[in-house]
Amino acid sequence: MFIGFENAATKGKINLFAREGNSTWENRKLVAANMDLGKWYTIEVVVYPSAAAYEITVKWAGKRPDNPLVKVLLWPGLQLQRLTTNEPEDDMIEIAVAAMSLVVAREEVEAASTASSSAPVREPVPALD
């Protein structure tokens, strides 16, 4: 979201506009009209953290991975990620592979039954040992 000002029709007044990040200024929306330049205004901006994080990390920082500012902005999040994630142990990987193979087998059975009839046949899922 970008905001911008332009002179209003009345002298000493301005208009406040906003536009989405990927749109042009021709598609802007009027937020406040005829704001007096002699007064102070409080403009409340609500930022959704998930949307802001996506915009910063994926769209902006992804295009500039070697930029020093990007490295500074992303450093705290990367450190938190380093603290909260670990490499999986071998037994964890074995369990994940076994679970995935059961899912793939079930999908193959459902695909075969769908191809042969209109109603899928539900096969029981074997328990993990």
Shared domain for 80 and 92, answered yes or no, is no
pLDDT tens-digit map of 11-59:
888 888 888 777 777 788 888 888 887 777 777 777 677 777 777 777 7
Shared domain for 79 and 99, answered yes or no, is no
More confident residue, 90 or 52: 90
Q: Is 32 helix (H, G, I), strand (E, B) or coil?
A: strand
Give residue 12's domain range.
2-36
Tokens of 67: 């930029």
Q: Which one of 11-20, 91-100, 110-119 scores highest in mean pLDDT?
A: 91-100
In a domain, 101, yes or no: yes
Q: What is the DSSP letter of 103?
A: H
Residue 113 has pLDDT above 80, yes or no: yes
Residue type, 27: N
Cβ contact 8:24 at 8 Å: no
Shared domain for 91 and 126, answered yes or no, is yes
Shared domain for 103 and 114, answered yes or no, is yes
In a domain, 42, yes or no: no
Tell me how far apart the alpha carbons of residues 125 and 129 are, in angstroms, rounded to a whole number: 12
In a domain, 44, yes or no: no
Residue 120 has pLDDT above 60, yes or no: no
Shared domain for 91 and 78, answered yes or no, is no
Shared domain for 92 and 77, answered yes or no, is no
Q: How many domains does the chain have?
A: 3
Shared domain for 80 and 91, answered yes or no, is no
Phi, psi of 56 (to 5 degrees): -75, -50
